[in-house]
C-alpha cells in the first residue's frame, strides 16, 4: 500500500493531510487579516492625532502672530510701562555713525591729553636670603589710586 492509497476511516490519507493544510492556511490568513485590521485602526488613530496636532500648531501660530503685533506691543508698553516711541530726531543713519564716533573722540581728547598723575618710586627692597623664592625689585605707587 502506498501513501496515496492508504485509507483512514474511509478517507485517503492524502485527502486528510490536504484538508489539514487547507485549514492551517485558512487560519493563518484569518489571523493575518485580523492583525492588519488592528494596525489599520491604530494608523487611523495616529493620523487623527497628527491632524489634531497640526490644527493646534496652526492655532498657536495664529495666537503668536496676534501677540507679536507691533501695534499691540506698543499699546501695552505705553499703558503699563510708560514707554513711548523714539522720536525721529534720535534715529541715525549708518553714514552718520562715523561722524558721531569722531565727535565723541574729539570731546574726550582733552581728557586723554591731560598730564598723567605723578609717580613715586620707592627705594629698592632689602636683599632677601638666597633661595628659590621671588624677590621684590621696586614698589610703585600712583597718587589718587588705591593700592
pLDDT at 69: 93
- The answer to whether 121 touches 104, Cβ cutoff 8 Å, is no
Residue 7 pLDDT greater than 50, yes or no: yes
Query: Once rounded to an integer, what is the mean pLDDT over residues 88-115?
Result: 75
Query: Once rounded to an integer, what is the mean pLDDT over residues 23-39?
Result: 97
3-state secondary structure of 41: helix
- Choose among 79, 100, 105: nearest CA to 90: 100
Q: Where are the alpha helices (DSSP H) in the chain?
A: 13-67, 70-76, 94-113
| pTM to 2 decimal places | 0.42
C-alpha 53 chain-centroid distance: 21
Residue that has been written with the C-alpha cell 492556511 in this structure: 25
42-51, 91-100, 129-138: which range is least confident on average? 129-138
Amino acid at each position: 500500500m502506498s501513501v496515496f492509497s492508504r485509507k483512514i476511516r474511509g478517507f485517503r490519507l492524502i485527502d486528510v493531510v490536504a484538508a489539514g493544510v487547507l485549514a492551517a492556511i485558512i487560519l493563518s490568513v484569518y489571523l493575518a487579516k485580523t492583525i492588519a485590521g488592528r494596525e489599520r485602526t491604530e494608523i487611523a488613530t495616529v493620523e487623527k492625532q497628527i491632524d489634531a496636532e497640526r490644527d493646534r500648531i496652526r492655532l498657536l501660530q495664529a495666537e503668536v502672530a496676534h501677540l507679536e503685533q507691533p501695534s499691540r506691543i506698543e499699546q501695552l508698553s505705553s499703558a503699563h510701562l510708560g514707554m513711548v516711541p523714539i522720536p525721529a530726531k534720535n534715529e541715525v543713519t549708518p553714514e552718520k555713525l562715523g561722524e558721531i564716533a569722531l565727535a565723541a573722540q574729539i570731546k574726550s581728547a582733552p581728557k586723554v591729553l591731560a598730564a598723567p598723575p605723578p609717580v613715586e618710586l620707592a627705594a629698592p627692597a632689602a636683599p632677601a636670603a638666597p633661595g628659590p623664592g621671588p624677590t621684590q625689585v621696586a614698589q610703585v605707587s600712583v597718587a589718587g589710586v588705591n593700592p
